[in-house]
Amino acid sequence: MMPVSEALTAGAVLVTVAILLVWRRRSTTTIVGSLDRADVLMMPVSEALTAGAVLVTVAILLVWRRRSTTTIVGLLAVLLGAVLWSVCYALELSAGDLAGREAWGDLKYVGVVLLPPAYLAFVLQCTGHTRWPRWLGPALALEPLAVLLLLANQGTHDLIRYYPAGATAATSQAAEAGLLFWPHLLYNNALVWAATVLLVVTLSRLSGLYRRQSILLVAAILLPIMLNLLFNLRVAPFRQVDLTPFAFVLTTAVLVWGTYQFSLLDLRPVARSQIFRTISDPVLVLDPDGRVLDANPAAGRLVGRPVAEAVGQPVDQLLPTWSATVTEAMAAGVDQAIKEVTRGGRIYDLAISALPDRQRQPGGHLVVARDVTERRQVEERLCAALNHERVATDRLAAALDRERAAAEHLRTLDELKSGFLQAVSHDLRTPLASVLGISLTLQRGRGQLSPADADDLLGRLAANARKLDRILTGLLDLDRLDRGIVELRRERVDLASLVAGVVKEAGEELLDAHPVSLDLAPIQVLADAAKVERIVENLLANAARHTDPGTPIWVRVEPGDRGALLCVDDAGPGIPVEQRESIFRPFERGPGGATYAPGSGVGLALVAQIASLHDGQAWVEERAGGGASFRVLLPAPYGG
């Protein structure tokens, strides 16, 4: 089924062609025989109306080709009403008899009654009132239908229009208005004036960029309204011929020309124009040469001039400090560029957007300056607060880590203290008890003990005293090493001779009935002899303490990769892998057998620190055949 708009367009073209055919086949003798002064006047009028009808039809075709907007529907209806009015009026004026003139005059009312509601609908669509009440369409159609029905009925025809008795085609007298014509005229004018007032109010809200086009549009609309009133009221010299169709031809030309040359009917910027004036951000519309086409009041305040003075001025004169930024963005050819600029101590985000023309070619530019000073200040304060909070958080985290580490250290120290007190109390209690017991025995048995018994007791007393001395000396040496106040007295030492001497002097109190095997290679080292003796004593004591009585101990001195290697091996339970480093820390104690007393955790710590003080090192390995192999590397003189 052909769409209604296409059918109306095709019908208008066919009517125009029919007019031309009828005009060409008129009876020449009838025209000549009946010509009088009025006929001479009517002939060029009808020809002009026919030409106008063709023009309006062409306008319809142009509008139909650009039917992408909703306002086109209303405009098509207006143009269709105009072409029907013009065509039928032309045929009425050119009719050779009164009956033909009356018939075309009645048919003319199809366009007459269509124009006012179509014009109202067109204005409502243009001004954005696209949602109508459901009753509005039927209500607007009632009066036109009633008028057409009255004209179609022979009995009521004269209530609208009629020719007086005695009128003939030769007189060219205009039809008289019937009784109901005046309510019809009042209704049509009410619709037309209401739509015009609405259009004028809407156009008054547009920015200055649309003012001249608006005035032209209103003038083109008011012209046919005024001419129609003058004709219907029979005001001379408009009583003989209705010039309204001529005026509608002119209005049609203005509407179509303005629509496609200046977007005259694109009144959607009405709402945008209201926003344009009231928006708080400065907005400038620039032409391709950088001149201001339009500006809102905020932009006028920004440049320090009234908007009327700013329009037409180059932007580099209004905003010289922003000229380079705006020119660069316009020359870049991008759809939108955002720059940050300053003016008068304020910070602005400058958004420069391209405005393409109707052919999608680059046109002017829209410049929007958004004041972001407060936002930047808030962002800076927020960043400063976040940085301050981050620093405070880092400090708090560091303090918590330190406190956690301190608490862990205190807990470790507490455990070490408990272990140390337990071990030292045992190591001190045993010799002290022996010293106290022997002292009391000697005191009470004075004169009663044999010399041999007295010598034995005195020997034991001296051994326990030396044991106490070793424990206290080890604690003091460890403290001095921790504080770094120990000085070495380096000299060339034969490590094999030194080890043999220490083993020989160790005796029963140090080795506790452990057989010792020696395998000593003569090697010179540069060391503090007294400190190296402490290393050997502590290794022997450690081996004897952590193994059962009678377990053999092997002592070796042999050359190493970087010096002399001292090895003290035992056949005890060995040292687990996970404890082979920790046992060299102060107060750390390793595992042992069932018959030994735990050590104080000082001897191996002294071994490691004295070795380190000599630029050597101490470690423990698993002995081949079971047990532990404690090793100390002492550098040889001159690296050899």
User: Within a 10 A sphere around the Cβ of 599, how many other Cβ atoms?
Assistant: 24
Asked whether the bond before 237 is cis by omega within 30 degrees of 0, the reply is yes
- The span from the CA of 529 to the CA of 486, in Å, is 14
Residues 6+ apart with CB under 8 A from 564: 495, 523, 524, 525, 557, 558, 633, 634, 636
Candidates 81, 79, 82, 49; CA nearest to 61 is 79
Asked whether the bond before 183 is cis by omega within 30 degrees of 0, the reply is no
CA end-to-end distance (rounded Å), the chain: 114
- The span from the CA of 545 to the CA of 568, in Å, is 13
Per-residue confidence (pLDDT) for residue 424, from 0 to 100: 62
- The span from the CA of 85 to the CA of 532, in Å, is 131
- The span from the CA of 84 to the CA of 15, in Å, is 9
Strand spans (E) along 33-178 = 161-162, 176-177
Domains 4-270 and 487-639 share a fold: no
What is the number of helices (H) and of strands (E) in the chain? Answer: 19, 14
- The span from the CA of 475 to the CA of 600, in Å, is 10
Per-residue confidence (pLDDT) for residue 600, from 0 to 100: 58
Say which CATH architecture domain 4-270 belongs to. Up-down Bundle (1.20)
Q: What is the CATH number of domain 280-371?
A: 3.30.450.20
The residue ranges of the chain whose pLDDT is under 50 are 1-43, 45, 67-68, 267-268, 358-359, 592-598, 639-640
Strand spans (E) along 402-484 = none
Per-residue confidence (pLDDT) for residue 590, from 0 to 100: 61
- The span from the CA of 303 to the CA of 311, in Å, is 11
Per-residue confidence (pLDDT) for residue 98, from 0 to 100: 82
CATH superfamily of this structure's domain 487-639: Histidine kinase-like ATPase, C-terminal domain (3.30.565.10)
Q: Please report, for the chain, the start and end positions of each structural domain, with discontinuous segments joined by +.
A: 4-270, 280-371, 487-639
Per-residue confidence (pLDDT) for residue 351, from 0 to 100: 87
